[in-house]
Amino acid sequence: MAEVTIKFRYNPATGKRELIIGYESDADALPHEHEQDHRALAEKLLGQKLGDDIGDIVVERVRKDGTVIEGEAEREAARQRAAVKQGG
């Protein structure tokens, strides 16, 4: 069964509030299915499509042991910036 974790925290470095939507998919879900489900869940919670003018979006991929997969957050941030520049 999929598991969702929602955190709302204050970032003292930026002075902004951050919404963290964690999603652990079913064990039999393929990576692209996980991504689609996670995106759909985040959009439903926010009430709008990701990529609209909602501020910064950072995607982190985390292993079950809690370690962040290196480079994933940076690649996703670059992809989001490119999509915004292209109007999509």
Six-digit token pair at 61?
């991929």
**pLDDT band at 3, cuts 50/70/90?**
confident
Phi, psi of 49 (to 5 degrees): -70, 145
pLDDT at 33: 84
Q: Which pLDDT tens digit goes with each residue over 17-65? A: 888 888 787 778 887 888 888 888 888 988 888 775 666 777 777 767 7
Are residues 58 and 77 in contact, defined by beta-carbon separation less than 8 angstroms?
yes
